[in-house]
Structure 1
Amino acid sequence: DFTNLRTFQKTEQFIEEVMKEIDDAKFTDKFTKDDIYRMCFATIIYNVEHNRKKVLLEKTREDEDVNEDVNVDYIWNYILRRSMDNIYSKSILLHIKQWFENGTYDMNKINRIINSINKVENVINYLSAAEEVTDAIQKWDDNLNELTVEGSLDEIIQAVRYRMSLAEMLGDVFNFSNEKLLEDMRCNILNHVDIEKSVNDNELFTAMYAPQEQTIKILIQKLNEEIIYEYYNKLAEKIIESFNRDIFSEKKYLFVLKDSVHLITDEKIRENLKGKLVSNKFFFPVPLGKVNQDQMDWCSLSNVLILHIKNYWQDDQVFDRYQEFLENAKSNYHDKMLDYRIELINRGTV
């Protein structure tokens, strides 16, 4: 029905751009080039031909324009009409859409999704028999168990979404226990957390997984709670390791924790960190004898960390015990330079 040459020109250019980035070996009878063509074309139709308006709907809410999962579902249901070779390819649609609109994309994430698609034994779509869908459900349940051993969080979430789509095709609801899945995913979560990145970069973005699906939204919310807890736990363990080995040049981790105190509102995380502080001499390497600047900087950061905990968490107990620790250090060593350095640190003049 379209006669606008510009639409087809943009489609051709965009398909060419996307296809250049995807390794040709990735395409199989499960993940097809035709599905990429369809998603690129539907993205152009939505953005160029329809000017990002849901023209195929009689009425839309104002807030839907900024809701990415709603926009992707609209493209999937009303422009593509669920006509993909493999329904699991829908997981890539948001990436394709953002690729065209923003010019940004993460090929690592896209490739992980493609790999997951190619692991599915049978291609399932709207042409499949009910028996094929039932068989795919059983096989995917087994695959989900395998993923919780060595898969990435991306792969597991996509697997859960795919399993839900299969159930939906048969008019069923996929029920599972978040608690049981989170327990099974303990190692996956630990492998996911990277303290070399910020805590925000470790979190999962709900928009990437169609949060309109309430089950997925709740799962991602709980995963992020666990990710944040493990992030600060790993960060504290790294600080303790450097502290115990007197590697004060690795103070960047202490700096990150110090600057994060005001962001931490979860009592479980707070109690864990306070416990580690108290049982590890408040991360404070007593500056006794001749010291270097790295050690003094570390002492200063530890001091500010304790002050932040007192002020932001309204916790005087840790601060009082810290002050008692400093007084004991001064009385035990009788070192005038130690007394002077602690005074400088308390004044914040180091």
Structure 2
Amino acid sequence: MAEQQLSAPPRARFLVRRSASGVTSVSEYQPAQYTIIGHHLSQHHDLSLTAIGLGTHILSLPDGSPVDILTLAEKFPEGRAKIAAALRELEAHGYIERVRERTPQGQFITRTFSYNFPEATRARREREAQAARLAPLRAVPSLQKSPKPKTSDSPSGTSSRTDASTGAAPDADPDPAPVPASDANTAVDVDPTPQPHPDRVPPPPLPQPAAPAPERTRTAAALLATLRRDDDRLLLSERDVHRLAPAVAAWLERGATPDAVRRTLATGLPPDLRHPAALLAHRLTALLPPPLPADQPAEPAQRPPVVPLQNCDGCDRAFRAPSPGCCRDCREANEAPAVAA
């Protein structure tokens, strides 16, 4: 038996050290009063902390709660400028949507829509739009051939059909009946393009500039191509940009600034926008501003008539008067003796 060595060094112990930095979550059960927030919002890399906190607060509110800038500024210590900037960030990334609506009383109100998962909402709308486009094609009835009558050879040599009510089968294999010529020559290819309704009024033509200006047309095309920065639903194809660019150039020709055109096209979009090019074409046509009036030359100011110079009959001094006579000093001198008398 080995002798125990009391002076031997003890076995080294491996200690697990926890990092002093980082977060440690302490979770407690919440039976009620909680809100589910996705990591796409709480860990968003392009949103500021003010916008993330404001988006979380808006998601926790019940429907109908006011979320305007004045109400939020009274709740939180951030000023109106920070809250307005945070709302613009949330609107740019699709977490909220502000739509101006007109009430039956004629007043304008702002309705705010809050989205807890904008990407899923956008994908669902695209699926619904695609299903709506395919609905007319699915509604076209497919031409089917009529069922072939089944015949069988009876013992007496005559042909008899199968009784559908009793389900009796023929004695021998049925012979295929010839297909009628009308069914054989029927075309089964259906044109999927929906035909325009005869009573539908065609849309008015897009406005065109009076004089060609390549620089103005390039500015209009750049404005249309960058509308998706204001709202990602305004993503236009290259063909739509070339088709709508002359209409925007007509606006610029009539004195509208690019910022004014952008606000008119990208503000107050409907929540279920499906055809952005059609909406922009309607706004460019229906809201076309009138041309600026031509600058009229200003009328020259009328100068007062010039009073001619006259020589005084008494002192021969020059003075201005409409007719010859005496100056003021001579008239006063002539009037003084008459008053004294």
Using the size of structure 1 for normalisation, the TM-score is 0.23
Q: Which has the larger radius of gyration?
A: 2
Give the structure, 1 or 2, with the largest relative contact order (CA under 8 Å, sep 6 or more): 1
Which one has the bigger strand percentage? Answer: 2
